[in-house]
Amino acid sequence: MTRDNYTYVARQADETGFISYPADEHSIWQALITRQQAALPGHACQEYLDGLAKLNLPLNRIPQLGEIDQVLIENTGWRTAPVPALISFGRFFELLANKSFPVATFIRRREDFDYIQEPDIFHEIAGHCPLLTHPAFATFNETYGKLGLQATKEERIFLARLYWFTIEFGLVGSANQRRIYGGGILSSPAETIYALSGEPEYREFNLMDVLRTPYRIDRIQPIYYVLDDIDSLFTLAKSDLMQQVHIAMEKGLFDPHPSLLS
168 labeled binding residue: yes
User: Are the C-beta atoms of residues 171 and 210 closer than 8 Å to each other?
Assistant: no
Of 194, 178, 183, 204, whose CA–CA distance to 129 is shortest?
183
Alpha carbons 246 and 242: distance in angstroms, whole number: 6
CB-CB neighbours of 22 under 10 Å: 9
Alpha carbons 119 and 104: distance in angstroms, whole number: 7
123 labeled binding residue: yes
Annotate 63-96 with b (16+ C-beta within 10 A) or e (fewer). bbbeebbebbeebbebbbbbbebeeeeeebbbbb
Binding residues for Fe cation: 123, 128, 168
Binding residues: 123, 128, 168
